[in-house]
């Protein structure tokens, strides 16, 4: 067994005891967070003004430092279980005159607060990224980008059944970089009203969800149909519903909006049978009871 594979085995044991593998140890492996990969990770994140970037296992701070230097309106911080590397990262932030926007602390990644971050970077073993998944999904806001360097394990299952939204394979022998986007929690019952020629119609929807994958079933009066083209990325949700609406016949709806807590706000394009297209505002609210289950009867119009 080669020396780096021996070190890999030791590191896996150390990671189990510490809860997080130090990036100092990670750096011993081929490809590492090289300047090329750091640059790719920063560009892949598509940083925007006011982004807050965190690196879980920050080593010498290179990812966070590159992020804040790429945009003067970006802030960042990192954590590592090696106090020596934390000190060196903070010294480098001072040297680069970005210490007001980049700080590093000696902490375990499982103990940090992810509620205010918008980009999470990791370069850890698959077992540890999977262990961090519940924390990320519980704390990080919908839309948060999770960037993982795949140099250690080129495997899209690094976060278990939560599959990446985007994969950057690079070119040639470059390491893959994966991006997950934290999805809004939309599972449950939703209801809203839509006006048709001055008459309001009630809509009831049941959504099921597995991470960013969603499917749903809607009801209008006594008619039920399944959604098609249902998509969720962060807070952005869209789907198509084709259902019979009493007095109008078969109507195609294309919904798109933003999910924020117990409300979805957006628009719906309604295509009526005669070809008329209406663009309407759409506000759906989550309900405790699903009217979708109410008695139907046999008199279906």
Q: Of the ranges 194-198, 228-232, 292-296, which is most confident?
A: 228-232
Residues in the chain: 301
Residue 273 — pLDDT band, cuts 50, 70, 90? confident
CATH architecture label of 188-289 = Beta Barrel (2.40)
Question: Mind listing the pLDDT tens digit for each residue in 59-86?
Answer: 999 999 999 999 999 999 999 999 999 9
> Of the given ranges (1-15, 122-136, 265-279), which has the lowest mean pLDDT?
1-15
**CA 20 to mean position of chain CA atoms:** 21
The tally of CA atoms less than 13 A away on the side-chain side of residue 109 is: 29
Mean pLDDT of the residues in the chain: 86
Give yes or no for residue 22 having a pLDDT over 70.
no
- pTM for this prediction: 0.86
Give the per-residue pLDDT at 14. 35
Residue 230 — pLDDT band, cuts 50, 70, 90? very high
Q: Measuring CA to CA, which residue among 226, 287, 286, 229 is closest to residue 254? A: 229
Give yes or no for residue 23 having a pLDDT over 90.
no
Class of CATH domain 3-181: alpha beta
Give the per-residue pLDDT at 28. 37
Give the per-residue pLDDT at 25. 37
Give the per-residue pLDDT at 154. 54
Domain boundaries, the chain: 3-181, 188-289
For residues 114-148, one letter each, b for 16 or more C-beta atoms within 10 angstroms of the residue's C-beta and e for the rest, the string is beebbbbbbbbbbebbbbbbebbbebbebebbbbb
Q: Measuring CA to CA, which residue among 228, 235, 273 is closest to residue 255? A: 228
Please answer whether residues 259 and 235 qualify as being in contact, where contact means their C-beta atoms are separated by less than 8 angstroms: yes
- Written as six digits, the tokens of 276 are 């008329």
Give yes or no for residue 234 having a pLDDT over 70.
yes
- Strands 249-260 and 263-271, bridge-based pairing: antiparallel
Q: What is the mean pLDDT of residues 134-145?
A: 97
Q: Is 82 left (phi over 0), alpha (psi -120 to 50) or beta?
A: beta
């Amino acid at each position: 067994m080669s020396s780096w594979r021996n070190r890999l085995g030791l590191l896996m044991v150390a990671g189990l005891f510490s809860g997080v593998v130090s990036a100092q140890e990670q750096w011993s492996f081929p490809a590492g967070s090289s300047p090329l990969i750091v640059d790719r990770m920063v560009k892949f994140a598509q940083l925007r003004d006011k982004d807050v970037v965190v690196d879980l296992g920050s080593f010498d701070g290179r990812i966070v430092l590159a992020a804040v230097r790429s945009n003067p309106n970006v802030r960042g911080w990192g954590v590592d279980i090696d106090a020596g590397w934390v000190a060196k990262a903070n010294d480098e932030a001072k040297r680069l005159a970005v210490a007001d926007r980049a700080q590093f602390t000696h902490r375990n990644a499982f103990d940090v607060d992810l509620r205010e971050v918008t980009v999470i970077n990791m370069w850890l073993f698959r077992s540890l990224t999977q262990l961090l998944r519940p924390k990320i999904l519980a704390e990080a806001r919908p839309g948060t980008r999770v960037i993982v360097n795949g140099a250690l394990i080129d495997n899209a299952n690094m976060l278990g059944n939560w599959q990446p939204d985007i994969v950057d394979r690079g070119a040639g022998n470059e390491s893959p970089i994966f991006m997950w986007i934290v999805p809004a929690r939309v599972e449950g019952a939703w209801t809203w009203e839509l006006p048709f020629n001055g008459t309001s119609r009630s809509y009831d929807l049941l959504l099921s969800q597995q991470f960013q994958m969603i499917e749903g079933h809607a009801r209008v009066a006594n008619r039920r149909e399944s959604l098609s083209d249902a998509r969720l990325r962060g807070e952005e949700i869209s789907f198509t519903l084709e259902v019979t609406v009493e007095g109008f016949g078969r109507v195609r709806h294309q919904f798109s909006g933003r999910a924020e807590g117990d409300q979805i706000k957006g628009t719906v394009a309604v295509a009526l049978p005669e070809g008329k297209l209406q663009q309407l505002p759409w506000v759906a609210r989550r309900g405790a009871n699903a009217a979708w289950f109410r008695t139907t009867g046999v008199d279906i119009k």
